[in-house]
Structure 1
């Protein structure tokens, strides 16, 4: 779960070290980020694939996330995470358990979908990479390399649809040989959302165990 949310963070989340970065890549990433931030809300359906040939691992799953400001609702692996702006509710129907915690969005180490639009602003250098024709669309890749040598990430390839300037996919390659790919199947914006979408309703979970972390 944490790994998937980290990839989402990288997918959607520019301050220092611009001199080390490709000016075209910086301009493209800024354009993508500013466009996404201009939307009132964003709804994404995605496919997530985890591969490691050495460990004979190949896992695939699907999920969806809705974001409005710093609020979000994420469904993945049978678990729902709702952040109402103050509290994070992690709902696990299989365990009949709900974990309630305070999420510190100011902490750089906190992994949240709401940071997805600006993740590259710190901690990465970036440059333009290849252009690929995928399913009739031109996808421009930007290669992001962690500044810290201690990072577990070797590099990230961020695929951007040249026409819409929306994220098409993200490929993260780890130093341990693990490759994770998140592909956006559906990207919708400014939808009419229920007022209660980001509100946790305890009356729906009367039989669940409530675990309050703080």
Structure 2
């Protein structure tokens, strides 16, 4: 399904394989500043853009999404599909198909990386290099290059942009071999919002006519 493939791509963009290489001290300090800021919040609410571009094919697609995080729990909305993680199970709700898929989260399974890692995925296993600085919408964005040390890694390089003033993650950019550029850009960032715990709980009674597919 189109939505499922897009969810998988976004989560894959949030991780690489383990890296052991030399890191530039200035880049590492910026990474640590971002992580310290993220970990200081009780919860986070963001809106983001998923942008796919290929100039040679005259393609540019933008998709808006929203994400609420509280600890490991999250509520993700993207392309009319909702994904909910209550700390134990992942619920993917697709209104268009009136279908819900329920799967158990296994932390040891790298294929189940969740959006709760979205703002801190780069904490371990990366080499950091200082890259370009851009002024975007009046904000100074410092890019850090992430480089995979594994020759078999599907993505060898990516850029993360950091807002120099707020110390927040601004975007993630990955350019593929077919001249396709993929970007996930944070459009709105709100920490410590009044988020109810019920927001991260699944209630089957709200979906009486849906087909529920329990994988585990």
TM-score in terms of structure 2 length = 0.89
2:19–2:150: 8 Å Cα contact kept in structure 1? no
CA RMSD, aligned part only?
1.9
What is aligned with 2:44? 42
2:10 to 4, 15, 21: 4
The separation in 2 between residues aligned to 1:16 and 1:50, in whole angstroms, is 27
The separation in 2 between residues aligned to 1:41 and 1:143, in whole angstroms, is 27
2:133 to 131, 134, 147: 131
The separation in 1 between residues aligned to 2:137 and 2:77, in whole angstroms, is 26
Secondary structure of 1:153's partner?
A: coil
2:52–2:60: 8 Å Cα contact kept in structure 1? yes
Following superposition, the deviation at residue 200 of structure 1 comes to 0.6
What is aligned with 1:120? 122
Structure 2 counterparts to residues 126-205 of structure 1, below 5 A: 126-205=128-207
The separation in 2 between residues aligned to 1:51 and 1:153, in whole angstroms, is 17
The separation in 1 between residues aligned to 2:39 and 2:176, in whole angstroms, is 28
TM-score in terms of structure 1 length = 0.90
**C-alpha distance after superposition, 1:154-177 (max 9, x if no partner):** 421111111100011111122343
Higher mean displacement: 104-113 or 201-210? 104-113
Unaligned runs of 5+ in 1: none
What is aligned with 2:91? 89
Unaligned runs of 5+ in 2: 1-5
The separation in 2 between residues aligned to 1:171 and 1:38, in whole angstroms, is 25
The separation in 2 between residues aligned to 1:84 and 1:213, in whole angstroms, is 16
